[in-house]
Amino acid sequence: MSLAEDVNAYMHAHNILEITQAAIKSAVKQRSPTPAQVMAEHLLAAHRKSQPKRPLVAFVLGGPGAGKGTQCAKIVESLGFVHLSAGDLLREERKSGSAQGAMIDEFIKEGKIVPVEVTIKLLLAAIEKADRLHNSKLFLVDGFPRNTNNLAGWQKTVGDTLLLGGVLVYNVEERILEERLLERGKSSGRTDDNIESIKKRFNTFKSETTPVIEYYKCLDLVHEFDGARSIDEVWTDTKSTVQAMVAKYESEN
Ligand SMILES: Nc1ncnc2c1ncn2[C@@H]1O[C@H](COP(=O)(O)OP(=O)(O)OP(=O)(O)O)[C@@H](O)[C@H]1O
Ligand SMILES: O=c1ccn([C@@H]2O[C@H](COP(=O)(O)O)[C@@H](O)[C@H]2O)c(=O)[nH]1
């Protein structure tokens, strides 16, 4: 085969003429003074659309008792996300009775952050299972990343294989959080819904989780909510934010 034939065959096999013509059309349509830029953007968008969809992840953060789980349940019900609570996964793992289970138990009671390798392994296994069994593409990761070590672990292990659409952050003052958690503690059976653990969890949130939120603010990924309002008021804002996040994801992927 000659070089010209080879080139022709390649162009035909990969629709290069059609792709290039569409890029040229979009530059001409816009009468852009920078056609190369418009064409490059068009080609990139076309490439992204042709790739298999990366799952979308939204992190959900806020102090203990801020209403993360409550809002996540509503997002699942109304917008079809899969909810993965890092705390729930750790509590489930704790039941295993292994040495790791005992370690998790101790960390939870003390309000300390479990080593990132343990949490990421549980999160990724749950994401892979939901993707494989139900082709789920929308995930809420609730209560993670809890500190900068979690953040680094996520970036190293997950990188760009999942698309971070945003970080939902619920702000509530400690006085209200304490009331909510003590009330929840009457029936939750959680070993950390007592005043000693609650104080420790507040300290961990302030010293370790706040820097993570600040980091994502710098990337313009944070959506903050006043979580002290009624559940329905918080939901109204949450819903419109998450709907916009999904719409952007669907249009770009
Ligand atoms: N907006 C709200 N107003 C009043 N009570 C609320 C509100 N949101 C949640 N609650 C109640 O506060 C308690 C804590 O809520 P939730 O479990 O959703 O918080 P969380 O942030 O997931 O907590 P944690 O981090 O400890 O798991 C629950 O008993 C819940 O019913
Ligand atoms: O990424 C995480 C998430 C949670 N933990 C530990 O679990 C408890 C309870 O978490 P909730 O989100 O309130 O259910 C938390 O205080 C940590 O001890 C963790 O280590 N890493």
**In what side-by-side order are the strands of the sheet with 163-171?**
82-85, 138-142, 56-62, 163-171, 222-226
Q: Please answer whether residues 61 and 140 qualify as being in contact, where contact means their C-beta atoms are separated by less than 8 angstroms.
A: no
* Vertex 211 angle, CA 216 and 148, to 5°: 90
pLDDT on residue 99: 86
195 annotated as belonging to a binding site for a ligand: no
113 has binding-site annotation: yes
- What pLDDT is attached to residue 97? 83
For residues 168 and 61, the answer to whether their CB atoms sit within 8 Å is yes
* Distance from C-alpha of 122 to C-alpha of 144, rounded to nearest angstrom: 12
The whole-angstrom separation of Cα 157 and Cα 115 is 14
What's the burial of 174, exposed, middle or buried (CB within 10 Å: 0-12/13-18/19+)? middle
Q: Is 52 annotated as a binding residue?
A: no
The predicted structure's pLDDT at residue 52 = 83
Residue 85: predicted pLDDT: 98
* Three-class secondary structure of residue 224 per DSSP: strand
| Percent of the chain at pLDDT exceeding 90 | 92
Q: Which ligand minimizes its atom distance to the CA of 119?
A: 2
Closest CA to 89 of 134, 139, 125: 125
pLDDT the model gives residue 122: 96
The per-residue pLDDT string of the chain (253 residues; one tens digit each, 9 = 90 and over) reads: 899 999 999 999 999 999 999 999 999 999 999 999 999 999 998 888 888 889 999 999 999 999 999 999 999 999 999 999 999 999 999 998 888 999 999 999 999 999 999 999 999 999 999 999 999 999 999 999 999 999 999 999 999 999 999 999 999 999 999 999 999 999 999 999 999 999 999 999 999 999 999 999 999 999 999 999 999 999 999 999 999 999 999 998 8
Which ligand neighbours the alpha carbon of 91 most closely? 2
Q: Using the mean position of ligand 2's atoms as its centre, give its distance from the Cα of residue 104 in Å.
A: 9
Distance (Å) of CA 134 to CA 52, 80, 126, 129, 163? 16, 12, 12, 8, 18
Atom of ligand 1 nearest to the CA of 227: 1
* Residue 90 in contact with ligand 2 by CB distance below 6 A: yes
**What is the pLDDT at residue 49?**
81
Could you identify the atom of ligand 1 that is nearest to the CA of residue 142? 22
Share of the chain above pLDDT 70, in %: 100
Contacts of 97 by beta carbon, 8 Å cutoff, 6+ apart: none
Rounded to whole angstroms, the Cα distance separating 112 from 34 reads 53
SS3 107: helix
Do 168 and 71 form a contact (C-beta atoms < 8 A)? yes
CB 29 within 8 A of CB 38: no
pLDDT digits 0-9 by tens, 16-34:
999 999 999 999 999 999 9
pLDDT at 252: 87
Q: Is 66 annotated as a binding residue?
A: yes
| Amino acid residing at 176 | I
As for ligand 1, residues whose beta carbon falls within 6 Å of it are 62, 64-70, 87, 143, 180, 184, 227, 230-231, 234
113 lines ligand 2 (CB under 6 A): yes
Indicate the length of the chain as a whole number: 253
Which of 85, 91, 92, 108 for a ligand 2 pocket mutation test, highest count of atoms within 8 Å of Cβ? 108
Q: How far is the CA of 108 from the centre of ligand 2 (A)?
A: 6
For residue 58, list its beta bridge partners: 140, 166
**pLDDT for position 179:** 98
Report DSSP letters for 181-200, one per residue: HHHHHHHH--TT-SHHHHHH
- Residue 53 has a pLDDT of 86
ipTM of the complex: 0.98
Atom of ligand 1 nearest to the CA of 71: 18
Could you tell me the distance, in angstroms and rounded to a whole number, from the CA of residue 149 to the centre of ligand 1? 26
